[in-house]
Amino acid sequence: MNNSFSESYKKAGVDVTAGYKAVELMKQHIARTTLPGCVSGIGGFGGLFELDMTGITKPVLVSGTDGVGTKIKIAFIMDKHDTVGIDCVAMCVNDIICCGAKPQFFLDYIACGKNVPEKIAQIVSGVAEGCVQAECALIGGETAEHPGLMPEDEYDLAGFSVGVVDKAKLLRPDTQKAGDVLIAIKSSGVHSNGFSLVRKVFDVNETNLSMHFDDLGATLGETLLTPTRIYVKAIMNLINSVDVKAVSHITGGGFYENIPRSIPKGLSAKIERNAVQVLPIFDLIARTGNIPERDMFNTFNMGVGMIVSVDKNDADKAVAAIKASGEEAYILGELVESEEGVIIC
């Protein structure tokens, strides 16, 4: 590999030696995610992972893939690249756990205009931190230099994760019934959705991102770049504590799009509006952009990262289990017989 160098390719905008340096710089971060199932190191044509089948009779693999979206533009402006990787991992693993599956491994893909090894290593450090939080291994990835297609100082980031669950332990949303309780698990902020609207509302630039807001307790940029919460530990612990019927990851499309994905026909989620603990950033977005409340609930998580459905007799125990995992949770509403999908009242 040390003998691999093409002056012609470098003149075309691709420096393969920068890729090698980036790999060397990211190795220390990847090492943090090593788990017993890791069979190979990075650098091969495929990432190898041996599943631990202890206690699993019929394994079901659950996969998820996603990116960071236009939130990444905030990272460009602030020149801060060590948190978007957490968002990338979160958007994948938070989907996987909605089936009751435990994430096992993760792979990332970084496309950039110019490979700056130190910047790539910063991005991967965030990916590694996300994997540590999700208790999964970073077993591979790809960095692609795209001169002429992307500006030199920009990049895009996407990822892919695989989890496993015993077929008998797959969550069964079809077992839900009217009267089941909906529990909210708080988000850390905007997470990684709705940023095209966020950027339009604030007309983001270096100046306004550096503005400090008392109600936020931070600058606008710091608040917007806050990483997405990773709920793997909380949901896995909850599943082991009570009979969880369904889990909804509140991502793009907010309440109105995501909650119905885990509710059978004939039932709707009745949300108590006064129960929703809306974070200050969403009040600021709505106020600044003069955005109707329904649009806010149809775009953002509004302070609710996940919603869990349990029997009403398990509600208090479920809230306690979530809090014991370090997350904030509270009762948000209940399921009712209706065809509306989501009712916020």
**Helix intervals (H) in 135-273:** 195-202, 206-209, 220-224, 232-239, 254-258
pLDDT tens digits for range 88-103: 999 999 999 999 999 9
Q: How far is CA 160 from CA 66, 96, 136, 171, in A?
A: 7, 11, 12, 21
How much is the pLDDT for 18? 80
260-298 confidence digits (pLDDT tens): 999 999 999 999 999 999 999 999 999 999 999 999 999
Asked if residue 17 has pLDDT above 70, the reply is yes
284 forms bridges with which residues in the sheet? none
Whether this prediction's pTM lies above 0.75 is answered by yes
Q: Percent of the chain having pLDDT more than 90?
A: 90
Are 51 and 40 spatial neighbours (Cβ–Cβ below 8 Å)? Answer: no
| 294 alpha carbon, distance to own chain's centre | 23
pLDDT at residue 1, rounded to an integer: 47
What local confidence, expressed as pLDDT, does residue 2 receive? 58
Query: How many Cα atoms are found within 13 Å in the side-chain-facing hemisphere of 229?
Result: 22
Q: Identify the pLDDT of residue 4.
A: 67
Q: What is the pLDDT of residues 24-69, one digit of tens each?
A: 888 899 999 999 999 987 778 889 999 999 999 999 999 999 999 9
pLDDT computed for residue 19 by the predictor: 77
Confidence of residue 15 (pLDDT cuts 50, 70, 90): confident
pLDDT tens column, 108-132: 999 999 999 999 999 999 999 999 9
Residue 44's pLDDT is 81
- The string of pLDDT tens digits covering residues 163-201 is 999 999 999 999 999 999 999 999 999 999 999 999 999
- How crowded is residue 43: how many other Cβ atoms within 10 Å of its Cβ? 11
